[in-house]
Structure 1
């Protein structure tokens, strides 16, 4: 797309004057443009329109784009080009999504920045989650994958475990030179609060693990009729196709059986239910309490609660936001939001007084510091935060 076309669409966007066809073109802008100069020119236009009275501008509509920028402290001079260039890709993607779900964003506010409590900026800030995990082998040996050097980190019966340069754990089946049968061994990988990790299982299945999660799996599937793993917490699975050996994910409340597909399971113990979201293929979700099962098709989500299974249309942006590097809230209450924040930033949350905030609809990048996210919440919700070490005090 030519630079002039991009700027033309942007100028119509901030005036809320896009046709249906132009709106679709604008929504796809972040995927079509790879020229940083275009991004910078659009961002320059954003700050100009924000600081000047632009006739016909719809401030509520503009808040879709402002969401990410306003969550950052405005630098001096009025913008800092390197920071904005890094943020623009996420701004464009967020605009596409938030245009669909509405404009009631808690990141857009007319409150002056100096009205936000200084205790957040003065406190020692907390970094987001990073590649942190522990691998427990079948013999009980526990390995910190954060500290382990790249390369071969362990060997089991006919299996070599390697840590790659990008922090991924990979299992490789070695040749059984002795000709003897392999002994069945189980490993467990755990991510702590403030951690995440990616693993390639022996069958080629890729698993992305969210914070505070664990996965137990065989070191080799070679002698097994089915590929069974056990999950606590949240993970995204991209299962290697093998019609002869079904892949089964067991949690405390359900089992999900697949042949080859992509799906996400959220099964944190502090939540009221277990959610399975399907992107590709087909899965059979069985409720271990109610002894009933349902089949999902792509775009659907199964919610297991008690002895019931409910099937509905999935909000894919929300379900996969953690894997895509974002927080996406679509109607959550504050305590549900704070549970996610606690796991991602490895903090404790304490409530002081009655705090009743619900219907939060917004998005925020997960690679930002804790204070930036809390400032964005404070700016528009009837809530106040104070950081004390690794504890967040939540007050009306």
Structure 2
């Protein structure tokens, strides 16, 4: 039955959504539709995760030779027409079209994996504006940020290693187990711990991973055969797989966790920098009319505050005026 449902997928618009998801070009609206479709039948999540595994493997292993033009001719009538292409075509092919054709080649392999006994992947994702609290089989806790997904084996606590795969951002509180490493895969990177609390942000589009450690010890591995980087509490590492650049530094506060705890803290920081972070946190932007105002110093803390409350504090603290239209705010001297 599972195989039948998968083979039916290419007759529907969801084939294109799956292709966009794997190619990394899916929009928020498409992501919402895909998640709704997955929630209708748990077997679909299983199918998607197997496709994703095979897709990832295909990046490092060449696919068998096939007639691309002929495959596309067969597939084209089954993909819904798009009035506005999301990506420009490269050599007559869009990335989504290439993904769809590749999925046809991978379909036979998927059937084999679906029939393997004992398979039990769990896939959890969030919509825009949504976060989720997750308790893993080993007791570890995860807070998943918006537009993110995490997958793991249902028998994670019984495996030799506790592995999860992340896209987007999540905060982890890992249950300590000296005998079993806890490994977070994000792109080609791995973050390895035994028991600790840390935040991982994986920006798939930018191919950048940021790991911030709050407690315990973390070893960050940029990629295969690359040297691990150790982190101590209060440190973070940023790695970009495009140019292989890596930086490690101490962080001054935990403002990067605003999405989780709704807290911001500023200690003698310039107003320009404060407004940039406030804007990012609340989804708005600020325009400073007088450049000199940007150099004003701000020392304040906010806990569960609304945007209006933050603005009110800044106005009274610095004797300035902040007014907005829509999501754009203007700042000037009182």
Distance 1:323 1:312, change over 3 A: same
| Cα contact 1:213–1:231 (8 A) shared by 2 | no
How do 1:242-321 and structure 2 match up within 5 A? 242-252=177-187, 254-267=189-202, 274-288=209-223, 291-304=226-239, 307-315=244-252, 317-318=254-255
Give, in whole Å, the separation in 2 of the partners of 1:358 and 1:229. Answer: 43
TM-score when normalising by structure 2 = 0.51
- Structure 2 unaligned blocks of 5 or more: 1-31, 47-115
> What's 2:98 paired with?
none
Asked if structure 2 preserves the Cα contact closer than 8 Å seen for 1:275 and 1:303, the reply is: yes
Is residue 218 of structure 1 aligned with residue 148 of structure 2?
no
CA offset digits 1:178-206 (Å, max 9, x no partner): xx94323241232533x443221222110
CA distance in 2, matches of 1:136, 1:372: 37
**Secondary structure at 1:140's aligned position in 2?**
helix
Greater alpha carbon shift after TM alignment, 328-337 vs 218-227: 328-337
Match of 1:183 among 81, 104, 119: 119
Aligned to 2:308: 371
SS at match of 1:263: strand
SS in structure 2 of the partner of residue 241 of structure 1:
coil
For residues 360 and 233 of structure 1, the distance between their equivalents in structure 2, rounded to whole angstroms, comes to 33
| DSSP-derived class of the 1:217 partner | strand
- 1:4 maps to none
Q: Please say if 1:386 is aligned against 2:323.
A: yes
Q: Counterparts of 2:160 and 2:252 in 1: how far apart (Å)?
A: 34
How far does residue 330 in structure 1 lie from its aligned partner after superposition?
4.8
TM-score by length of 1: 0.44
The Cα shift of 1:207 comes to: 1.4
2:126 matches 1:228? no
Q: Distance in 1 between matches of 2:220 and 2:142?
A: 18
Contact conserved, 1:287 with 1:308, CA < 8 A, in 2? no
Cα displacement string for residues 227-261 of structure 1 (whole angstroms, at most 9, x for unaligned residues): 33333444321112334442222335743111221
Contact 1:138–1:187 (CA<8 Å) still a contact in 2?
Answer: no
Q: Which is helix-richer, 1 or 2?
A: 2
Secondary structure in 2 aligned to 1:230? strand
Q: Partner of 1:256: helix, strand, or coil? A: strand
**Structure with bigger RCO (C-alpha 8 Å, 6+ apart):** 1
For structure 1, the residue ranges without an aligned partner over 5 or more in a row are: 1-133, 144-152, 158-179
- Compute the RMSD of aligned alpha carbons: 4.6
Q: How many residues align?
A: 228
Aligned partner of 2:8 in structure 1 is none
